[in-house]
């Protein structure tokens, strides 16, 4: 039996775009209530995207999905209706909690992982949750604080350069597939760094992970420039992100 993931969607954009998006979700809910079967419009082709218990209120939409958030479907809907969104999601039994955004055609997703969730604990003596030297009455407040802190920590991973693979080759000569990941990140094109990383074969990613594990924790002083350090940190982030997604997908089967 599947666990249910809660999704809290906030739409932004023109009034027409927001209303068209709301119409899509309302149609999904109406069709499902009428037929008793899952329904998605034809332009939503992402797998595992069905939604249930859809509630619309002005520019916000709440709904549930099986196991995981249906982020790929959300992007397909957003592209179709030309709307932007912020979507918070949680399935706490599996430790799944995060926030996805789609702004001006750019998708990003920040999600807590196992290391994040180990940063707090329940204190029996005070009957509160202890995190970062502070006591919290409820666990949700801690999780929201963890998420905000992680979002703040990832601000350095924002794309500010549109350098291409050809331009990198002109600067550095022939580069390996893994080198492209680091060089894109070093030049602040984190979107292309991410795309290059996920295009790597599994064996190469495994070897990169082994290298990072053996390298241990690094400090900025160990790199020629801070940009090189940030690129190294981004590579670690990508490996952790991929591993986190694989663990979740394994449990959702």
- pLDDT 10s digits, 45-77: 988 899 999 999 889 999 999 989 999 999 999
- CB within 8 A of 103, min separation 6: which ones? 12, 84
So what's the pLDDT on residue 220? 84
> CA-to-CA distance for 82 and 221, rounded, in angstroms?
44
> CA-to-CA distance for 182 and 184, rounded, in angstroms?
6
Supply the mean pLDDT for the chain.
89
pLDDT of residue 176 exceeding 70, the answer is: yes
Query: How would residue 162 be classed by pLDDT, with cut points 50, 70 and 90?
Result: very high
User: For the residues 19-45, what does the mean pLDDT come to?
Assistant: 94
Contact in structure between 74 and 85 (CB atoms under 8 Å)? yes
77-126 pLDDT, tens per residue?
999 999 999 999 999 888 889 999 998 887 888 888 887 888 899 999 99
Write down the pTM of the prediction. Answer: 0.70
Please state the length of the chain.
Answer: 253
So what's the pLDDT on residue 151? 85
So what's the pLDDT on residue 142? 93
DSSP the chain: ---EEEEEEEEES-HHHHHHHHHHHHHHHHHHHHHSS----TT---SS---EEEEEETTEEEEEEESS--HHHHHHHHHHHT-EEEEEEEEGGGTEEEEEEEETTEEEEEE--HHHHTTEEEETTTTEEEETTEEESSHHHHHHHHHHHHHHHTGGG-------HHHHHHHHSS--HHHHHHHHHHTT-HHHHHHHHHTS-HHHHHHHHHHHHHH----GGGSSSHHHHHHHHHHHHHHHHHHHHHHHHHHH-
pLDDT of residue 18 exceeding 50, the answer is: yes
So what's the pLDDT on residue 2? 67
pLDDT of residue 187 exceeding 90, the answer is: yes
User: For the residues 164-186, what does the mean pLDDT come to?
Assistant: 95
CB count, 10 Å around CB of 21?
25
User: For the residues 175-192, what does the mean pLDDT come to?
Assistant: 94
pLDDT of residue 251 exceeding 50, the answer is: no
So what's the pLDDT on residue 1? 56
DSSP 156-222: GG-------HHHHHHHHSS--HHHHHHHHHHTT-HHHHHHHHHTS-HHHHHHHHHHHHHH----GGG
User: For the residues 205-217, what does the mean pLDDT come to?
Assistant: 87
pLDDT of residue 252 exceeding 60, the answer is: no
């Amino acid at each position: 039996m599947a666990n249910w993931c809660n999704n809290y969607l906030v739409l932004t954009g023109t009034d027409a775009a927001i209303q068209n998006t709301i119409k899509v979700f309302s149609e999904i809910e109406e069709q499902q209530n009428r037929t008793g079967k899952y329904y998605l419009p034809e332009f939503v082709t992402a797998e595992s995207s069905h939604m249930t218990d859809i509630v619309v209120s002005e520019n916000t939409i709440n709904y549930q999905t099986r196991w995981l958030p249906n982020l790929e479907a959300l992007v397909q809907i957003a592209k179709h209706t030309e709307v932007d969104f912020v979507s918070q999601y949680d399935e706490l039994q599996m430790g799944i909690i995060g926030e996805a955004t789609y702004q001006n055609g750019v998708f990003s997703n920040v999600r807590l992982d196992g290391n994040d969730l180990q940063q707090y604990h329940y204190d029996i003596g005070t009957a509160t949750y202890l995190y970062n030297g502070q006591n919290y009455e409820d666990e949700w407040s801690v999780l929201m604080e963890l998420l905000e802190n992680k979002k703040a920590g990832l601000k350095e991973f924002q794309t500010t350069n549109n350098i291409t693979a050809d331009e990198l080759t002109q600067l550095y000569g022939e580069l390996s597939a893994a080198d492209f990941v680091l060089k894109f990140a070093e030049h602040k094109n984190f979107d292309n760094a991410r795309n290059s990383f996920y295009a790597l074969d599994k064996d190469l990613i495994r070897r990169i992970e082994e290298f990072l594990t053996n390298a241990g924790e690094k400090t900025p002083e160990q790199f020629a420039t801070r940009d090189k350090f940030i690129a190294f940190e981004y590579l670690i982030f990508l490996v952790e992100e991929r591993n986190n997604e694989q663990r979740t997908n394994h449990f959702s089967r």
